Amino acid sequence: MKLINNLIKSKTWNIVISMVLFAVLVSNDVNLFSAIGLALTLFSFLLYIRKLGDNLPILELMLLLCGYQWIVASYYSFLNGDTFYPMEVDETTYMSITVLLYAGLLIGVLLVAKSIKISKENLERHMSIGKNRKFILIIISVGFVAILVKPIIPMSLLFVNHLLASMLYVGGLMILYSNFKYKWFVFFVIFGSLFLRVIIIGVFNEFLSWGFFIVMFLANIFKPSKAKIIMFLLASVMLISVLQAVKPYYRSIIWEGYQGNKIALFFEIFIDNLTGQFDETNLDESELYDNLNSRANQGWVYSMVYSHVPSNVPYARGSTILAAISDSFLPRFLFPNKAPTFSKDLFEKYTGRQLGDNTAMGLGILGEGYANFGKFGAFLFMMVYGMIIGWIVKVYNRKSMLLPVMLFFVPVYFEMIIRAISNLSQVINWQVKVTFLFWLLFRYYRSNYYEMPNKELNILK
């Protein structure tokens, strides 16, 4: 255990371990570019583990998720063949482009990034002050009401409603650092209700997203060893794999008008799968893993872009990037006809794949980079993108040192950045809107609820 902790805490050893993996893969005749990509993903994983505890490793989580969905899942598809979403180019073509672009993102992040520091003692001092205790209750109440009224909210206000609903879970994190007597009970009720809600609707992405951030804050509170964190994450991966495996079958039942107890149905299917008794899908174990990997593999979209551009469609040369930037500053309630963040026309143009009338998909940040600038231009684009994201995290960290309550809003503020499937227009749209709304919120908080603890002046010195 101690050896594992020491190895992970050392950046030098993180590099050595990744290089060892690369050497082992190459010696076993793994494609050179795939081996580089898998080693870089392992390096991102080790960075993420190393930062847990005293930091909120947002950038490391982004790199880890991107590495998994762009490289690891794609490698699995090449290795075993993907009957659900087959790759459109060979492994060398795909990995030589994708790994280069992933390396650009990694380099850009590492050049600028500064982790978001989090101090358990400092937060406990802040959140136990009377005014902050009141603010926690207000935040939780606002989130609860927003969830209740969501069915009657017009489409133009769904973004604001989503932010307000997220306050319930922000409050759930805040309360862990307070001196409320029953804070753990409240925490489990809040996130337990989220789990039950996603079971009822059959869409689990929101719970999984918050799960990543719950791990970050719990690691800060309990300070577990790196070995224990790895064991916990491996167990979580197993449970998530089971969840993903049963999700299609569960959805097929409830979305066809199932009238019974959906929660009981979900746990029955989940436990049957966990114990090996689940056979309703008529899929063997390997087919279940193939199905799971297909949904994680974002590479099949990128492979279509690589195959279609520039052989059939010329490079966009920055036109979609400029459009994404300009549209992001136009509020939809004032400009209802502005382009959607998932553009069907854009997807069809640069992949050559036709979508159904009710289907909308995006190219993803990596696919859009290649469609605009080609292989080496996209490498520079991804590096600049990584530097910009790193700068945003750096600024947020500096502001949160003066206003610690900002740390609890990290899951909402960086929600779109950490997603490996996000389009550039999604990221810019989200950051522009959430920055403005959070600026108003934090000004209101500072004016009405912020109160510096007695020891805070000494800490700032």
Q: Give residues with Cβ within 8 angstroms of 330, minimum separation 6.
A: 338
Q: In this structure, is the dihedral angle defined by the CA atoms of residues 97, 102, 105 and 110, taken in order, positive or negative?
A: negative
pLDDT at 457: 41
pLDDT at 167: 96
pTM of the predicted model over 0.95: no
Widest CA span of the chain, in angstroms?
66
Burial per residue of 404-434, b for 16 or more beta-carbon CB atoms within 10 angstroms, e otherwise: bbbbbbbbbbbbbbbbbbbbbbbbbbbbebb
Residues facing residue 112 across a β-bridge: none
Provide the 8-state DSSP code for 52: B
Helix axes 73-80, 91-112, angle to 10 degrees: 170
pLDDT at 307: 94
The Cα 86–Cα 244 span in angstroms is 19
pLDDT at 182: 92
Residue 228: what residue type?
K
The Cα 189–Cα 255 span in angstroms is 26
The Cα 373–Cα 378 span in angstroms is 5
pLDDT at 392: 95
Q: Determine contact, residues 405/177, Cβ cutoff 8 Å.
A: no
Question: For residue 310, is the peptide bond before it cis, meaning its omega torsion is within 30 degrees of 0?
Answer: yes
For 311-420, strand residue ranges (E) read none
pLDDT at 266: 78
Please, what are the averages of pLDDT over each run of 10 residues along the chain (461 residues)? 61 88 96 97 94 93 94 90 82 97 96 88 88 92 93 85 94 94 94 86 80 94 89 80 71 75 76 62 53 75 94 92 78 58 78 79 90 96 95 94 94 91 86 93 90 51 38
* Residue (of 218, 166, 186) closest to 53 by Cα position: 218
Q: Determine contact, residues 121/58, Cβ cutoff 8 Å.
A: no
Q: Determine contact, residues 405/126, Cβ cutoff 8 Å.
A: yes
Give the angle subtended at the CA of 171 by the CAs of 166 and 176, to the nearest 5°.
140
pLDDT at 337: 57
